């Protein structure tokens, strides 16, 4: 009997302890949430200001109002979609070698001239800025020092703001940010923050982070001696590219690199050739198709229709077998992934001395050659 009573109270105690543990866990989580809500943005900005003074003694700040206006416009938009209103972002362009960007606590973001030359669109520039915002929003540089030094946040603020020289925390903080020497988990979090901000944006496209990463990776593979600054030092770059692709796939975002790069520029013009008006279409400045028509307006309309079809159908990962040729009732047809893109008849290409099928075969070969050239210049596109 006594044994049964003992078992009963033991079970009761275990139940009580389990309930108490759950209660304490909830209490700690609520307490943590309150601490986060009390995040001291002013102290972070004071730290960032102190760091910026040192950085601007080391690197020349470039006054480029046109680019600064662009950075501010992007920053204001991304701040709005981020939902974090307490960070006052400030942008500076510095004269530092390499395509680089880094962020200081409190909202200070620095970009190099080389980076502004390297990006191919405002979308890619926004992707880099959003990545740096992710580091600031998640306090990555501060967290990394706290992890290493085993300090509490209050101790960190006290030491760094009172200027205690013994720990050199300010120097470590600057080293982490300027060299982009964040831990992998922090880089992953910043990548995700960038994708999320771009995905929420109605202006900038999230595929831009992918195209920027791919080009940095390709530059490093082809020119390893070139200083690419941001992202270059991370050995898991290929893995990060794969994660970005997975995010885009999971969120139903089509990977169309033409949206954020100048990889495939399609242009058209009408010229006079031997008393005939001839429409010419160019892909990356290389002529890929010529045809004519007896009415100038119809010629122009067809040129613009084919241009639109190509812009919709051409992608850098297009394979030659995805372009097919056929002939129906005397008309030659070029299809891309099953979609009719170009249709020609004999009257439209009589001046070339070729059949319509031969003209479109040449067009297909020219497109294939241009796509292969792009892939050779961008080995990251071969990552599956």
DSSP structure string for 292-354:
E-SSHHHHHHHHHHHHHHHHHH--TT--GGGEEEEEETTEEEEEETTEEEEEE-HHHHGGGTS
Q: What is the arithmetic mean of pLDDT over 185-199?
A: 96
Confidence category of residue 4, pLDDT binned at 50, 70, 90: very low
Within 10 angstroms of residue 249's Cβ, the number of other Cβ atoms is: 11
Confidence category of residue 269, pLDDT binned at 50, 70, 90: very high
* DSSP bridge partners of 281: 268, 289
SS3 state of residue 76: helix
DSSP classification of residue 89: -
> Which residue did the predictor score with more confidence, 161 or 231?
161
Mean pLDDT score across all residues of the chain: 86
* Listed ranges 31-45, 121-135, 177-191; the one with the highest mean pLDDT: 121-135
Taking the CA of residue 374 as centre, how many other CA atoms within 13 Å lie in the half-sphere pointing to its CB?
24
* Listed ranges 161-170, 213-222, 233-242; the one with the highest mean pLDDT: 213-222
- C-alpha 137/C-alpha 79 separation (Å) is 10
> Which residue did the predictor score with more confidence, 167 or 104?
104
Q: Spell out the domain ranges in the chain.
A: 41-259, 266-377
pLDDT value, residue 14: 53
pLDDT value, residue 164: 62
19 exposed, middle or buried (CB, 10 Å; 0-12, 13-18, 19+)?
A: exposed
Alpha carbon of residue 285 to chain centroid? 26
Task: Give the pair of three-digit tokens for residue 204.
Answer: 């900038």
H/E stretch holding 270 reads strand 266-273
Q: What is the pLDDT of residues 25-70, one digit of tens each?
A: 333 333 334 333 468 999 999 999 999 998 999 999 999 999 999 9
Provide the percentage of residues in the chain whose pLDDT is more than 90. 64
Reference 371, options 335, 312, 320, 322; nearest CA is 320
* DSSP bridge partners of 336: 323, 339
Q: What is the arithmetic mean of pLDDT over 5-18?
A: 46
Least confident stretch, 1-10, 153-162, 238-247, 333-342: 1-10
pLDDT greater than 80 at residue 109: yes
pLDDT greater than 60 at residue 141: yes
Least confident stretch, 28-32, 137-141, 326-330: 28-32
User: Is 131 in contact with 191 (CB distance < 8 Å)?
Assistant: yes
Model pTM? 0.82
- C-alpha 130/C-alpha 41 separation (Å) is 19
pLDDT value, residue 19: 42
pLDDT value, residue 227: 54
Confidence category of residue 325, pLDDT binned at 50, 70, 90: very high
User: Is 271 in contact with 282 (CB distance < 8 Å)?
Assistant: no
DSSP string for 149-185: HT--HHHHHHHHHTT-TTT-HHHHHHHHHHTT---HH
């Amino acid at each position: 009997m006594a044994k049964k009573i003992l078992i009963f109270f033991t079970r009761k105690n275990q139940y009580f302890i389990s309930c108490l543990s759950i209660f304490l866990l909830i209490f700690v989580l609520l307490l943590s949430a309150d601490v986060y809500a009390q995040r001291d943005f002013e102290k972070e900005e004071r730290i960032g200001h102190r760091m910026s003074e040192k950085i601007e003694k080391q690197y020349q700040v470039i006054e480029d109002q046109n680019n600064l206006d662009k950075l501010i416009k992007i920053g204001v938009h991304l701040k709005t979609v981020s939902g974090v209103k307490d960070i006052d972002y400030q942008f500076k362009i510095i004269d530092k070698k390499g395509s680089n960007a880094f962020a200081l606590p409190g909202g200070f973001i620095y970009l190099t001239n080389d980076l502004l030359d390297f990006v191919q669109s405002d979308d890619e520039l926004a992707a880099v800025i959003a990545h740096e915002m992710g580091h600031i929003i998640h306090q990555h540089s501060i967290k990394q020092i706290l992890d290493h030094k085993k300090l509490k946040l209050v101790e960190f603020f006290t030491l760094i703001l009172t200027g205690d020289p013994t720990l050199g925390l300010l120097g470590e903080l600057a080293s982490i940010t300027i060299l982009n020497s964040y831990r992998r988990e922090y880089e992953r979090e910043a990548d995700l923050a960038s994708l999320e901000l771009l995905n929420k944006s109605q202006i900038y496209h999230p595929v831009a982070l992918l195209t920027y990463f791919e080009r940095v990776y390709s530059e490093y593979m082809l020119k390893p001696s070139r200083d690419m600054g941001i992202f270059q030092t991370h050995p898991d770059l290929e893995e990060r590219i794969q994660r970005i692709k997975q995010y885009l796939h999971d969120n139903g975002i089509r990977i169309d690199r033409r949206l954020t790069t100048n990889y495939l520029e399609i242009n058209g013009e009408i010229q006079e050739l031997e008393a005939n008006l001839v429409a010419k279409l160019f892909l990356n400045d290389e002529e890929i198709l010529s045809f004519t028509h007896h009415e100038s307006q119809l010629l122009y309309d067809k040129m613009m229709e084919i241009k639109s079809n190509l812009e919709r159908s051409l992608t850098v990962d297009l394979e030659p077998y995805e372009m097919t040729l056929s002939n129906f009732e005397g008309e030659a047809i070029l299809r891309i992934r099953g979609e009719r893109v170009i249709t020609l008849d004999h009257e439209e290409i009589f001046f070339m001395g070729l059949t319509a099928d031969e003209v479109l075969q040449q067009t297909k070969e020219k497109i294939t050659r241009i796509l292969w050239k792009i892939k050779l210049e961008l080995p990251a596109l071969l990552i599956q």
